[in-house]
Amino acid sequence: MQNLALTLLLLPMFGAVIAFILGKINSKLAFWIAEIIGLALFLITLKLFMGFNEPIDIPMTWFTLGNFTIPFGIYIDELSLVMLLIATGLGFLDIHFAHDYMKKDPSQARYYAKVLFFIGGMILLVSAKDMISLFTGWEFMGLASYLLISFWHESKEPADAGMSAFLFTRFGDIFLFGAIGLLFYTSGSLDLVNLNTMATSGMIDKDMIYIISIFIFIAAIGKSGQFPLFPWLMRAMEGPTTVSALIHGATMVNSGIYIVARLFDFYVAGEALIIVAVFGAISAFIGATSALVQNELKKVLAYSTMSHLSLAFIGLGAGSLAAGMSHLVNHAVFKALLFLSAGAIIMSASHVKDLWRFGGFSKKMIGVAIFMGLGALSLSGIPPFSGFYSKDAIIATTLLNPQTNGLISTLTIIAGVLSVAYISRVWFLTFAGESRDKELFEKVKTPSFFWITLPLAIMAITTLTLGFFQDDIAKLVSGKVYEEPHVEYVLVSLLSAIVFVAFIIYMYYVKRLDITKKVASQPLMKAIHKVLFNGYYVEFFIHYFSREVVVGAGAKTINWIDTNLVDASVNGVKTLTQKIYRLFGKTHSGYAGDNSGAMIIGLLILLVILISGGAM
């Protein structure tokens, strides 16, 4: 088992190198290597999962620093295995899908190498035993995400988007880095399981637990695209859609939730969960409302990802590990499905992303329409799809917890209901009605079944069947037998709200576009639209702050000090010495070259004297 686990960790890294080298010879080779390794990783994970009886624990030492030992251990338990299944399973399907999606790209070797590297990073993250290996995986993924977002680096937007993604997530990462130092100082241990026990038993100072929890949560916010560090996630849509599906929909963005779940007892002991819930609720609301008005297909999905990850955070924050993590699992599957469907649409529609130029696409690709519809149903929370169970559980948890009952639960419900609105809007605008851009519609091709529609079908079936295994998933991720919380009236009222909202959206966007235009031209609606469309101007504020305050004021001031105070005082000394120089300057040329020449001669003379003196 241990060897299998180590293979799992190393295989993608070697695979990345091999795919790159052989891919330079023939780009088809890169694909096939990635495909085979992707499948192998999934099978290995499956074998680990089937044969699981106790956690695989491989403690290792990375290096010794003076009298400290820095660990780098591997620990795979049920929670890790669930995450591993997501990462390798979706990773494999994503690679398979990329066969057609990336077909015409000249640098496929680079693409598949980076994707494999990414999967390796994700595997490392979820199999980490301690903060060091976790942080390493965390940063590997961040790097892979940066490189893949700016995959088409020759144009401006992807390059900008990559930079934005790296800096936003890096801002969170340094808090995680700081947390490592603080943990080392306060507890002397970096072991994740150990930390939970120590925190619960009160061996660590409570205030420190709180501070460290907040530090780690800031990192989680950055990685999972939560308020206020979410703008990078929307920009990340500049990358290939297969990348958005895997990294920015299904796997990497989950790592923020994963880390909170991993240290759940730590958060409980530090009483920091309420912060998680508050930020989750804000993000859920922002994401759901902004998703409503986006014009780009992928941007809707990005805001939807933000909003749904927030639901998972709310679930954790309201105190239910099982509800939060089940939602993460369910979301990963249906969001990958939705993103890849979007990829199929975009690819077939000559890389147009604008929803308003779509319409009536179901005539061209009925398969994609059906499977994306199933994904949309799961996202909306219709039973028996998996999305329903976890969403219901999260809402019920927030209502039952006195701390979150009130504003947080209201925001959660709003976000839950709005998710029906935005996803049905996307589906109707794309597949229903008549085409709004005839020229584009003519060019739309029917995607291939084996490479494109088949992975979608597999995901659609998975999201449906997962619904029947919710209790098992909950048990796996929380390690406890799980009783789903129920609040009787929630189910009925939620369902009726969903149907009602879907109907309105259908009328509004498909049947009566004339009304839509009238409503949209109202000044108030215009203003609201603008705020929502720009993601509440959060990105604008952050950019303004970093450009004007950090660079414009901070760095500029320091630069001024350096030129006018520090360096000037040195030059002042020089002027002074020059004056003295001129006084005695007749015998000295003033050139350092002459001085040093004289120095060498002097030294040589000295040397000769010494050698003769030393011999005596």
Partner 1 sequence: MSAIEFIFAPLVLALVLSLVTRGNNSLSKYISLILFAFMLSFSINLFSQLPSKGYLDLGSFLAVKKFDFILTLQVDQLSVVMLVLTSSLLILVALSSWSMKNQAMYFNLLIAFSGAIFGVFMSTNFLWFFIFWELTLVPMYFLVGIWGAERRVYAAVKFFLYTHVASMFIILAFFLIHKESGTFDMTLVKESLLLSPVLIWWLLFIGFAVKLPIFPFHTWLPDAHVQAPAPISVLLAGVLLKMGAYAMIRMVILLLPETSQQYAWIILALGLITLFYSGFMAIYETHLKKMVAYSSISHMGLVVIAISTMSYAGLSAAVYEMLGHAFIIAPLFLIAGFLHHKTGSWQMQDMGGIMQKAPYISAIFVLAGLGALGLPGTMGFVGELSILISAIKADGVWMAVVALGSMVGAGYIIWMFRRVVYGEMSEIVQKTKFSMNPMEFLSLIIFAIAIVLFGLFPNILFDIINPIFVQYTFLGGAL
**CA gap 70, 501 in Å, rounded:** 54
CB-side neighbour CA atoms (13 Å) of 99? 22
**CA gap 282, 207 in Å, rounded:** 25
Give 77-121 as a DSSP string: -HHHHHHHHHHHHHHHHHHHHHHHHTTT-TTHHHHHHHHHHHHHH
State the nearest-atom distance from the C-beta of 70 to partner 1, in Å.
7
**CA gap 602, 221 in Å, rounded:** 65
Choose between 174 and 366: whose C-beta lies nearer to partner 1.
174
State the nearest-atom distance from the C-beta of 186 to partner 1, in Å.
8
**Tokens 């839509």 label which residue?**
516
Choose between 548 and 562: whose C-beta lies nearer to partner 1.
562
Q: For residue 68, what are the contacts with CB-CB under 8 A and spacing of at least 6?
A: 184
Choose between 69 and 295: whose C-beta lies nearer to partner 1.
69
Residue type, 553: A
State the nearest-atom distance from the C-beta of 481 to partner 1, in Å.
38
**Tokens 């049905």 label which residue?**
424
Return the closest-CA partner of residue 217 out of 276, 305, 141, 281. Answer: 276
Choose between 16 and 293: whose C-beta lies nearer to partner 1.
16
Give 449-489 as a DSSP string: IIIIIHHHHHHHHHHHHHGGGHHHHHHHHHSS-------HH
Residue type, 411: L
Q: Which residues pair with 130 in a beta bridge?
A: 191
Residue type, 415: A
State the nearest-atom distance from the C-beta of 350 to partner 1, in Å.
22
Choose between 173 and 392: whose C-beta lies nearer to partner 1.
173
Q: For residue 535, what are the contacts with CB-CB under 8 A and spacing of at least 6?
A: 230, 231, 234, 286, 290, 303
State the nearest-atom distance from the C-beta of 230 to partner 1, in Å.
18
State the nearest-atom distance from the C-beta of 133 to partner 1, in Å.
9
Choose between 141 and 415: whose C-beta lies nearer to partner 1.
141
Query: What three-state secondary structure class fits 579?
Result: helix
Choose between 66 and 523: whose C-beta lies nearer to partner 1.
66
State the nearest-atom distance from the C-beta of 356 to partner 1, in Å.
28
| Dihedral pair phi/psi, residue 364, rounded to 5° | -95, -35
**CA gap 512, 506 in Å, rounded:** 9
Tell me how far CA of residue 303 lies from CA of 85, 173, 233, 256, 423, in angstroms: 25, 22, 8, 16, 11
Choose between 151 and 279: whose C-beta lies nearer to partner 1.
151
State the nearest-atom distance from the C-beta of 595 to partner 1, in Å.
8
**CA gap 1, 16 in Å, rounded:** 23
Choose between 316 and 542: whose C-beta lies nearer to partner 1.
542
State the nearest-atom distance from the C-beta of 214 to partner 1, in Å.
12
Choose between 25 and 551: whose C-beta lies nearer to partner 1.
551
* Nearest-10 crossing angle of helices 470-478, 78-101: 120
Q: Is 193 exposed, middle or buried (0-12, 13-18, 19+ CB in 10 A)?
A: middle
State the nearest-atom distance from the C-beta of 607 to partner 1, in Å.
8
Strands (E), 148-239: none
Choose between 12 and 387: whose C-beta lies nearer to partner 1.
12
**Tokens 């979706």 label which residue?**
90
Q: For residue 605, what are the contacts with CB-CB under 8 A and spacing of at least 6?
A: none
Choose between 43 and 603: whose C-beta lies nearer to partner 1.
603
* Nearest-10 crossing angle of helices 131-149, 108-126: 160
| Dihedral pair phi/psi, residue 591, rounded to 5° | -95, 135
Q: How far apart are the first and last CA of the chain?
A: 75
State the nearest-atom distance from the C-beta of 382 to partner 1, in Å.
42
Choose between 523 and 593: whose C-beta lies nearer to partner 1.
593
State the nearest-atom distance from the C-beta of 386 to partner 1, in Å.
34
State the nearest-atom distance from the C-beta of 68 to partner 1, in Å.
5
Could you list the residues that contact partner 1 (CB under 8 A)?
Answer: 62-68, 70, 132, 135-136, 139-140, 143, 146, 150, 153-156, 159-160, 162-163, 166-167, 170-171, 174-175, 177-178, 180-182, 184-186, 208, 550-551, 554-556, 558-559, 562, 566-567, 570, 574, 591-593, 596, 599-600, 603, 607, 610-611, 613-614
